[in-house]
Amino acid sequence: MTYPTERIRNFAIIAHVDHGKSTLADRMLQETKLVEGRMMRAQYLDRMDLERERGITIKAQAVRMPYTAADGSEYLLNLIDTPGHVDFSYEVSRAMNACEGVVLLVDAAQGMEAQTIANLYLAVEAGLEVIPVLNKIDLPAARPEQVALEIASLLGGDPEDILAVSAKTGIGVPAVLERIVERVPAPRGDPDAPTRALVFDSVYDAYRGVITYVRVVDGWLRPGLDVRLMVTGYHNEIDELAVISPEPKPVDALGPGEVGYLTAAIKKVELARVGDTVTEHNRPAAEPLPGYREPTPMVFSGLYPMDSDDFPDLRDALDRLRLNDASFTFEPETSVALGFGFRCGFLGLLHMEIISERLDREFDIPLVATAPNVKYEVHLDETQIRPNEDAVLLVSNPAELPAPNRIARILEPVVDAMILSPSEYVGAVMQLCEARRGDLQKMDYLTEERVELRYRLPLAEIVFDFFDRLKSSTRGYASLDYEPADMADADLVKVDVLLNGEPVDAFSSIVHRDKAYEYGRGMVSRLRELIPRQMFDVPIQAAIGSKIIARETVKARRKDVIAKCYGGDVTRKRKLLEKQKEGKRKMKSVGTVEIPQEAFVAALSVNAD
Amino acid sequence: MTTPDRDPAAAGAAVYVHVPFCRSRCPYCDFNVLTGAGAEPQARYAAAVRAELSRVAAAGPAAVAPSDADAQCGWPVFGSVFVGGGTPTQLPAGDLAALLRHVREVLPLAADAEITVEANPEDVDGAYLATLVDAGLTRLSIGAQSFVAHVLTFLGRGHDSGRALRAVASARDAAVPHVNLDLIYGSPCETDEDWAATLDTAVASGADHLSAYALTVEANTPYGVDVHRGAAAAPDDDVQADRMSAAEERLERAGLARYEISNWARLGAQSRHNLVYWRGGDWLGVGAGAHSHWRGRRWWNTRPTLRYVEQVHHGWPPVAGEEALDDATRRSERLLMGLRLVEGVPRAAVEPVDEAQTARMVDAGLVTDEGGRLALTAAGRPLADDVIRRLLP
């Protein structure tokens, strides 16, 4: 059944990870009688195992809930689920553009978190109606009055007016639904104009091709309609047009304000990108919906199979992941130390973690990942430019940085970071940010206990372990959000690590000159612990260009012999040697130095300071 | 397929008899031992070993190595008998002597066969040894381990250092022709001086053979568990390398020549038995958990003592497992055993080896490759396992 636009309410829930977004969504499904209690399973809307286990939502989904309001009128509520993490802020903003309102869900014990605030700002910028809701009011640690004050100080308005619920028990949820009906504006759109529908998510399905989630703005979508994606130019007839309520249900049409999904034999998500506009192929709209942006990878890492025989499998796995995730990139590269692999680009750290975990979980390929880094803009010295070489190089693999004498300047990406912290840890947070070359922009006390700090930080300084450090120096209370700002000049150098005089490309890193010594020392002493003793002394050096900045030596092994072969048990001795020899075969050789894979993994995964 | 050059006459044939009984288990030891067994089970065990010996001997070599062409000609002459443990001297002298006599009754032994018994210092006196000598004993191997009190305590040994010296003296008085002392170096509590003192005392005792083993952490031992938990220190590899050099230097100076990684002997006192193992010879092992090798077939007996006795009692073969070695494996084993000897191995017996690595090892001064033989240098010996891994194809 099609609803008149004035009876439609499209909304999203903004919440920090663990603040109960999925639980509230579950409760809404029950409250609107869409899901019977006995059919309920936790986090009904999160489809992927990974999401369910991590308790976070990676892919936005939309669910349609017919709802009879207290005044007896029938409404159609469309809940659009948004990803909760900074890495996916663009996807969040698109999902919000499919709504007219948001429920701001805040844990009454934890209070506001940086990511929630960042998403809240996105909602406010998009002109959405914001309905603040306190969750977990049944918890003993809940402090609803204080958190309500925090929210009011950010949003304005009366703290008394803020709804309080326990998504777990369902207390207060009916009031939330009523307020959505009451406050969220009905969508507006022109049913007669050429079709325009916003793609706010697309998910790969092996059988039906890409499932494209859309919010119709103008005109109509119908099965069989020849539609075109305005950015990618792909066009095809709609095979399946459906809504999720809460299981997929085919529909005859979707009109202005409605939310659903379509399939059109789309082979990969790249062709139906988040933010693109679906229009009618034969009667296209003049302009796409505003705001489309290419996803830009910000964080890079080399992924190498532990066993070089797995290289083709890794390529297949990355291809398959990319079908489902257009925002991650990869291209083949070779490392002297690690062999053949791929330089992969990710939106951010969580995105990188998710991809690695999926590779591990779904494809079972043991990997070595190089330390994450960012993309640098390298301006070559004019006198040093080689024929057919660009004056500006983009470097996402530290090993590819040109020699120091060829470089005029290097620019690095910087981000605007927002950190929310209890006021007692402000000192620790500032100390950390300053150690990471941060530039304090602003500091606001949201309440007496909570401070919002804004820093401009080099992205390279936060990709490694910043978040862990932030958490550990604030007992887990601080939260972080960041968004790319621009590129800035920095005094950066490449630190190489040499084993027995030979550079090991996988260990090269681009760091600020002031930190080069510290980085070099750290890497060299860590490697001294990790590299097994060899038959000869192995010098380990850190160098900037030809200048050695740190040195350690792995002393030659002096004893490697089984003392006794007792009782004539030669079999045992032979098997031990065979096993050791097999272990040796699996080592990576750098020149004459043999390094176990585990040493690479350990050296690359431990933090740099 | 050519057979590896195995001149059975050169490598020889031997008999190993395992006696698993010990008064107590030493904290570092993972050998097949049984503590606290009374006289009666010990006697039943000795009887089982004699029964197994009789059966193996009567069945002949065709039963243990059916594919071997020489098997039709019956047993070759055995050049060595070794009764090891455990602690063979836990048995009454009479039982042990009966065992030695029994071997000679059922198998052809050379007239000058080496007959060794392992002994704990506190178990043997003049009368005990006289009984064994009367039964053919030619060599006593004494588990001295150290001559320093606090090292002996660490090793959990029940004797004091004087006891081992008295055992050597008793052996001399009983006219045992050869005496070996087993020593263990590199305990975490041992100092360079302790080790030097132990070596000097061992030399002065008059023993003509010394085995010096680096203390090794074995997983399923009280010491191994302590090391794993961090409750005890593991031996330091560099310290052990130093101790090995110290042994080399002091023993050579005293006229004991190294002939294997852990073994030194006066002229003519090398252990014939151990050379059979290292040169790829054949041996029959009897008793609980004993290993045998005959012409490319390996097999090993049931380890638990009581089950072993049970099996023999029922007339079942007490064999727990076996392995037929292919030519390549035999060559690998020849290399890994033979390279431990100072004399090295004939290339022809171990080829193919990794020639590139061999050349590297020669360049590095760890291996010699002369006169058709591969051998470790003094510098290569402490790294024997690494060198062997590299040389294996």
Alpha-carbon gap: B126 to the closest alpha carbon of chain A (Å): 28
Alpha-carbon distance of A548 to A516, in angstroms, equals: 11
Closest CB to A584: pick one of B277, B340, B389: B389
Is residue A441 left, alpha or beta, with left meaning phi > 0 and alpha meaning psi from -120 to 50?
A: alpha
**pLDDT of A154:** 85
Confidence of residue A443 (pLDDT cuts 50, 70, 90): very high
Contact in structure between A570 and A430 (CB atoms under 8 Å): no
Per-residue pLDDT tens listing for chain B (393 residues):
334 444 444 678 999 999 999 998 889 988 888 888 889 999 999 999 999 999 999 999 988 887 777 777 889 999 999 999 889 999 999 999 999 999 999 999 999 999 999 999 999 999 999 999 999 999 999 999 999 999 999 998 877 888 999 999 999 999 999 999 999 999 999 999 999 999 999 999 999 999 999 999 988 899 999 999 999 999 999 999 999 999 999 999 999 999 999 999 999 999 999 999 999 999 999 999 999 999 999 999 999 999 999 999 999 999 999 999 999 999 999 999 999 999 999 999 999 999 999 999 999 999 999 999 999 999 999 999 999 999 998
What are the start-end ranges of the H helices in A233-366? 311-324, 349-358
Tokens representing residue B314 in the block? 């029922």
Q: Do A559 and B262 touch (CB under 8 A)?
A: no
What is chain A's length? 609
Per residue in A561-581, pLDDT tens? 876 655 567 888 888 888 888
Q: Do B392 and A577 touch (CB under 8 A)?
A: yes
Residue A343: what are its φ and ψ, rounded to 5°? -90, 115
Look at the block and give the residue holding tokens 């043991």. Answer: A366
Closest CB to B291: pick one of A535, A558, A569: A569
Q: Do B262 and A563 touch (CB under 8 A)?
A: yes
- CA atoms A532, A533, A534, A538: torsion sign: positive
Task: Identify the DSSP state of B35.
Answer: E
Alpha-carbon distance of B147 to B161, in angstroms, equals: 5
Q: Do B392 and A581 touch (CB under 8 A)?
A: yes
Tokens representing residue B265 in the block? 């002997």
Q: What is the mean pLDDT of chain A?
A: 87
Q: Do A559 and B332 touch (CB under 8 A)?
A: no
Alpha-carbon distance of A167 to A134, in angstroms, equals: 10
Closest CB to A571: pick one of B283, B285, B323: B323
Could you tell me the strand order of the sheet in which B373-376 lies? B345-346, B373-376, B367-370
* Residues contacting residue A547 through CB under 8 Å, at least 6 positions apart: none
Q: Which residues of A521-549 are buried (b: 16+ CB within 10 A; e: fewer)?
A: bbbbebbeebbebbbeebebbbbbeeeeb
Contact in structure between A343 and A300 (CB atoms under 8 Å): yes
Whether pTM exceeds 0.80: no
Q: How far is CA A461 from CA A499, B27, B110, B164, in A?
A: 26, 52, 79, 67
**pLDDT of A471:** 86
Structural domains in chain B? 8-278 (3.20.20.70), 339-393 (no CATH)
Alpha-carbon distance of A252 to B190, in angstroms, equals: 88
Alpha-carbon gap: B185 to the closest alpha carbon of chain A (Å): 10
Alpha-carbon gap: B138 to the closest alpha carbon of chain A (Å): 20
Task: Identify the DSSP state of B304.
Answer: S
Is residue B288 left, alpha or beta, with left meaning phi > 0 and alpha meaning psi from -120 to 50?
A: beta
**pLDDT of A37:** 59
Instruction: Tell me whether strands A8-15 and A277-280 are parallel, antiparallel or unpaired.
Output: unpaired
Q: Is some CB atom of chain A closer than 8 A to the CB atom of B214?
A: yes
For chains A and B, count residue pairs whose Cβ atoms are closer than 8 Å: 96
Which residues of chain B are within 8 Å of residue A561 when distances are taken between CB atoms? 214, 261, 381-385
Q: Is some CB atom of chain A closer than 8 A to the CB atom of B252?
A: no
Contact in structure between B66 and B294 (CB atoms under 8 Å): no
Which residues of chain A are within 8 Å of residue B324 when distances are taken between CB atoms? none
A273: Cα within 13 Å, side-chain hemisphere: 19
Per residue in A171-202, pLDDT tens? 999 999 999 999 999 999 999 999 999 998 88
Among A203-207, A327-331, B201-205, which stretch is predicted with the lowest mean pLDDT? A203-207
Contact in structure between A14 and A117 (CB atoms under 8 Å): no
Structural domains in chain A? 5-183 (3.40.50.300), 196-280 (2.40.30.10), 299-369 (3.30.70.870), 376-490 (3.30.70.240), 493-605 (3.30.70.2570)
- On the question of pLDDT at A54 being above 50, the answer is no
Which residues of chain B are within 8 Å of residue A580 when distances are taken between CB atoms? 385, 389
Chain A residue nearest residue B82, CA to CA: A567
The percent of residues above 90 in pLDDT, for chain A, comes to 47
Could you give the maximum distance between any two Cα atoms of chain A, in Å? Answer: 93
Tell me the sheet residues that pair with A458.
Answer: A414
Mean pLDDT value across residues A467-481: 86
Tell me the sheet residues that pair with A216.
Answer: A197
DSSP structure string for A414-467? EEEEEEEEEGGGHHHHHHHHHHTT-EEEEEEESSSSEEEEEEEEEHHHHTTTHH
* Chain A interface residues (partner B, CB cutoff 8 A): 535-536, 557-571, 573-574, 577-578, 580-581, 584
Alpha-carbon distance of A293 to A94, in angstroms, equals: 10
Q: Do B385 and A558 touch (CB under 8 A)?
A: no
Closest CB to B389: pick one of A558, A563, A581: A581
Which residues of chain A are within 8 Å of residue B364 when distances are taken between CB atoms? 535-536
Chain B residue nearest residue A580, CA to CA: B389
Contact in structure between A165 and A173 (CB atoms under 8 Å): yes
Q: What angle do CA B160, B161, B163 make, to 5 degrees?
A: 70
Preceding peptide of A170 cis, ω within 30°: no
Taking only residues 253 to 292 of chain B, the set having a beta carbon closer than 8 angstroms to any beta carbon of chain A reads: 261-262, 277, 283, 285, 289-292
Confidence of residue A39 (pLDDT cuts 50, 70, 90): low
Alpha-carbon distance of B191 to B154, in angstroms, equals: 13
Q: How far is CA A455 from CA A201, A438, A468, in A?
A: 31, 6, 17
